[in-house]
Amino acid sequence: MHPHAPATPKYPHILHGGDYNPEQWLSYPDVLDEDIRLMTLAGINCVSLGIFSWADLEPEKDHFNFEWLDGIIDKLYKNDIHVILATPSGSRPHWLADEFPEVLRVGETGQRNIYGHRHNHCYTSPAYRERVRLIDTKLAERYGHHPAVILWHISNEFGGECHCELCQQEFRRWLKEKYKTLDALNHAWWTHFWAHTYTSWEQIHSPTWIGETAVHGLDLDWKRFVTDQTIDFMKAEISAVKAIVPELPATANLMGIYAYGVDYFKLGRELDVVSWDSYPEWHLPGKNAEIARNESLSHDMMRSIKQRSFLLMECTPSTTNWRSISKLKKPGMHELSIVNALAHGADSAMYFQIRQSRGSAEKFHSAVISHAGTENTRVFREVSEVGRMLKKLSDKVYGSASPAEVAIIFDTETKWALDKCQGPRNEGLDYFGIIQKCYDYFWKNGINTDIVDCDSSFEKYRLVIAPMLYMFRGGIQEKLRSFTAGGGVLVTTAFTGVVNDTDLCFLGEASEEKLSDVLGLWVEETDSLYTGEYNSTRWNGQSYRLSEICEIVRPVTCETLAVYDSDFYKGSPALTVNSFGNGRAYRICSTPETDFLDCFFGELAEELGLERAMNCKVPEGVSITWRENGSERIVFIQNFGDSPAELILDREYRDIFTGKTYTGRLAVEGLSSIIAVG
Ligand code: GLA
Ligand code: ZN
């Protein structure tokens, strides 16, 4: 019995496949036949279909043409290839924009785009919503009950914003619902500043560089509105297809932690299963382990959104075409990056794309089937190898859980607010940087970690880390208070708990709003360091560099564990701890270097006895994580270095593929992995 209900109940197996675009090849029937042969050879059991097919499904308004797709889906199914069926709203046919110009997006300056590109549509436009509802319904009626179809793929990579008049009106309506009165809005946005007080709802306009950018509350609410409007659009699509096939689950492909225009936690919670498109920049010289850590953090976030396994919806079989320099994946890298996704909770390995397109913007993006159209390519062989691997893993891995005792808070709204906050350091308050640095210790030491947001529940964790959590929102103070009082350990870093949910600074000295009771302190001043300038602290007999910002704090009940070594605040606390209820809360008052965090979290992990994938020293560049399938623990050991790494095993492990047992010394080749049970 696996811990998670299957993401794809109609076909509960690890999915292997990718975006398939037969609409580009309808005049090449031989190619379409060859696709099936090659997909079968590569061990492909699933494709995402129809993502950009609208012009071929509805070539003219209300004239539908499904015959070609009928044939494709039947043929796929006959060959044991399942279908993740997309709604085609990510890109629209010409006729739609010609007849309903309102569907096209308007930019910040008020200028409407002309037809072109994809993702060029207004999420508010009633005309767009209606045409999308119609085509989605038709697709659901025709294919929703087809045995091949196992999941809905709603649109493609939701994102972007529109500043058209329809969106402005909707934004004002959203604000009225939230604030009820202009007085409340003016207070929340602090608009008496620079005489920006609104005296009518009609004066409110989305933030734009030709207009308002100084009102931070406006900016924040606009971003929230864009997220809500995107979710509303997505939910309308989900309802359209579920009205016909309620039991078929839906996903949408997200883009990891760095694509934060839409709040993915909020959007992802509305999906049955989260999926995402992952394109790490492997082989930057000497950086594979670092890239793997970035990548793993996104995987962990995607898994944490629904607290269950996710789908890797896209990755490239070898190279992208959209980076400034598009590098091939070296031999072994493809399999390793797929193992990394599985290791962090993926139940699929899907690619962009099955067959390389012949022309237009993505003709040089790699694919399972290249322009050569043959199985005799390195990439095809490596993909097929992955296909064989996934088949062997499926029974044990699909739907298994990734238990974690540690959570790191990444809150999209804090990121939005920090991007605009103007001071204390406009040259870089590296929010992602401090999150990654905290995460890295756990990655390097085989400790599973969740990436959560302010709306998550913290009850199941033993250690919660809130790096630079500038904005306290959604009652997080109370959740962190009861987490700590209940025996949890909370770690905060500099610039945490500065503003409320409309970006107004907390007032007063110590207060519960700022969590001063839990931390046992309040912050009096925040100094900024120039780039390349450092303060330092001695802790546990070692000196560590501090950068970016240094908070000068006023202890109330906390104990000082380390102090600043220089500047006029030399001797004031740089690291504090406060006992609170059955737990305790730390403040790291600056941005410390990685070595400090490694030692600090190392001590905590030891003391708390945090569960590790294996009780052994993890060599540099190696990652070890685990999943549990109800009866077994599956350990993923990955070496991102180029040369072999050696582990001294703490117990016996059994190779999941060969059944071979490992004890004592275990060598892991460079750019390779071992998956074992133990
Ligand atoms: C995204 C899109 C795909 C394709 C790939 C290329 O993830 O969803 O349609 O453009 O990028 O890397
Ligand atoms: Zn619009």
Q: Is the dihedral of CA 90, 95, 99, 101 positive or negative?
A: positive
326-353 pLDDT, tens digit per residue, is 999 999 999 999 999 999 999 999 999 9
Looking at residue 4, what is its pLDDT? 81
560 Cβ inside 6 Å of ligand 1: no
CA distance 639 to 168: 51
Is the CB of 86 within 6 Å of ligand 1?
no
157 C-beta closer than 6 A to ligand 1:
yes
- Report the DSSP pairing between strands 253-254 and 275-277: parallel
Q: In testing the pocket of ligand 1, which one of 118, 157, 365 has its CB within 8 Å of the most ligand atoms? A: 157
Q: Please tell me the residue having the least CA distance from ligand 1 atom 12.
A: 320
Render pLDDT for 601-630 as a digit per residue (tens, 0 to 9): 999 999 999 999 999 999 999 999 999 999
Paired residues of 547 in beta bridges: 591
Structure tokens at 85: 């069926």
The Cα–Cα gap between 678 and 671 comes to 22
DSSP category for residue 54: H
Q: What pLDDT was estimated at residue 507?
A: 98
Question: Between the CA of residue 559 and those of 139, 555, 563, what are the distances in Å?
Answer: 63, 8, 11
pTM of the model: 0.98
User: What's the rounded Cα separation, in Å, for the pair 60 and 79?
Assistant: 32
144: left (phi over 0), alpha (psi -120 to 50) or beta: alpha
With H, G, I as helix, E, B as strand and everything else as coil, classify residue 275.
strand
Torsion of CA 5, 11, 15, 19, to 10 degrees: -120
Q: Are 523 and 552 in contact (CB under 8 A)?
A: yes
Q: Which of 88, 408, 409, 418 minimizes the C-alpha distance to 223?
A: 418
- Which among 379, 389, 331 has a CA at the least distance from the CA of 353? 379
The residue-averaged pLDDT of 475-489 equals 98
Tell me the percentage of the chain whose pLDDT exceeds 90.
99
Q: Which atom of ligand 1 is nearest to the CA of 316?
A: 12
Which ligand 1 atom is nearest residue 253's CA?
Answer: 8
Q: What is the pLDDT of residue 135?
A: 98
Q: Is 548 among the catalytic positions? A: no
Ligand 2 centroid, distance to 82 Cα (angstroms): 36
Written as six digits, the tokens of 665 are: 């010394």
Q: Find the catalytic residue in 157, 295, 382, 413.
A: 157
Which amino acid makes up residue 471? M
State yes or no: pLDDT of 295 exceeds 70.
yes
* Crossing angle between the packed helical segments 182-189 and 165-179, to the nearest 10 degrees: 90
Neighbours of ion ligand 2 (CB under 5 A): 122, 124, 162, 164, 166-167
Taking the centre of ligand 1 as the mean of its atom positions, its distance from the CA of residue 53, in whole angstroms, is 15
CB atoms within 10 A of CB 199: 8
Report the distance separating Cα 366 and Cα 336, nearest Å: 17
Ligand 1 pocket residue status of 279, Cβ below 6 Å: yes
What is the C-alpha separation between 677 and 393, in angstroms, rounded? 11
User: Coil, helix or strand for 482?
Assistant: helix
Helix, strand, coil fractions of the chain, as percent rounded to 5: 35, 20, 45
- Among all ligands shown, which has an atom nearest to the Cα of 122? 2
**Cβ atoms within 10 A of the Cβ of 469, count?**
26
Atom of ligand 1 nearest to the CA of 52: 9
318-332 per-residue burial string, b: 16 or more CB within 10 A, e: under 16: bbbeeeeeeeebeeb
* Residues 342/397, Cβ–Cβ less than 8 Å: yes
- Pick the atom of ligand 1 nearest to 321's CA: 12
Structure tokens that stand for 562 in this block: 């380390």
Torsion angle in degrees (nearest 10) through CA of 435, 623, 347, 632: -120
Distance CA 631, CA 2 (A): 8
pLDDT at 282 exceeding the cut of 90: yes
Per residue in 72-92, pLDDT tens?
A: 999 999 999 999 999 999 999
Please give the Cα distance from 635 to 219 (Å, whole number): 44
Domains and CATH numbers, the chain: 15-287+309-376 (3.20.20.80), 406-608 (3.40.50.880)
Q: Is 137 in the pocket of ligand 1 (CB under 6 A)?
A: no
Is residue 87 within 8 Å of 136, Cβ to Cβ?
Answer: yes
603 vs 362, 388, 609, 616, CA distance in Å? 49, 41, 10, 16
Instruction: Starting from the CA of residue 119, give the closest ligand.
Output: 1
**Ligand closest to the CA atom of residue 226:** 2
Estimate to the nearest angstrom the gap between the alpha carbon of 310 and the chain centroid.
11
Question: pLDDT at position 1, please?
Answer: 55
Interstrand relation of 275-277 and 535-539 (parallel, antiparallel or unpaired): unpaired
Q: How far is ligand 2, taken at its centre, from the CA of residue 229, in Å?
A: 10
Whole-angstrom Cα distance, residue 386 to residue 348? 11
What's residue 5's pLDDT?
A: 87
Is 314 a catalytic site residue? Answer: yes
Is the CB–ligand 1 distance for residue 277 below 6 Å? yes
Q: Sort 480 into a burial class: Cβ within 10 Å, 0-12 / 13-18 / 19+.
A: buried
Instruction: Say if ligand 1 is within 6 A of residue 320 CB.
Output: yes
In three-state secondary structure terms, 242 is helix
Percent of the chain with pLDDT over 70: 100
* 2: pLDDT strictly greater than 80: no
- Centre a 10 Å sphere on the Cβ of residue 585 and count the other Cβ atoms it contains: 28
Give the closest residue (by CA) to ligand 1 atom 3: 352
The 10s digit of each residue's pLDDT in 348-396 is: 999 999 999 999 999 999 999 999 999 999 999 999 999 999 999 999 9
Closest-approaching ligand to the CA atom of 48: 1
Which helix H or strand E contains 634, and what residues bound it? strand 633-639
Please, which residues have CB within 8 angstroms of residue 510's CB and are 6 or more apart in sequence?
Answer: 516, 517, 521, 522, 554, 556
* Beta strand 661-662 pairing with 653-655: antiparallel
Q: Is residue 677 within 8 Å of residue 628, measured between CB atoms?
A: no
